Structure 1
Amino acid sequence: MSGALLTDLYELKMAARYLRRGMTGQATFSLFARKLPPGHRFLVTAGLATWLD
């Protein structure tokens, strides 16, 4: 596996559909974490301030 970020094709298709329909408002996302791979000791996240509130 490469070091690139991974996402599902479904997520990209849904984002494209939303943009085509002009849906640019606030969105809701799920937050979860899996077990880190061997040799990795930390997880990098962004946008947690609202979730933590």
Structure 2
Amino acid sequence: EDTAGALIGPDRSSGIRMPTAALVCVNSYAASWDQVQWGGCELEWMMIPKVLKEI
């Protein structure tokens, strides 16, 4: 939750709560990891364990 929130940025992640074992997809348009900036990513999707269990 902390890492995903930091990557997304405080303005866009203020309401996000992630249960244990949740999966998130965070998108960055950086060409490599060293170009990724805190707060410069977008949350694409989040899947909670209850939904994963059904798949």
**Superposition TM-score tier, normalisation by shorter sequence:** under 0.3
TM-score w.r.t. structure 2 length? 0.27
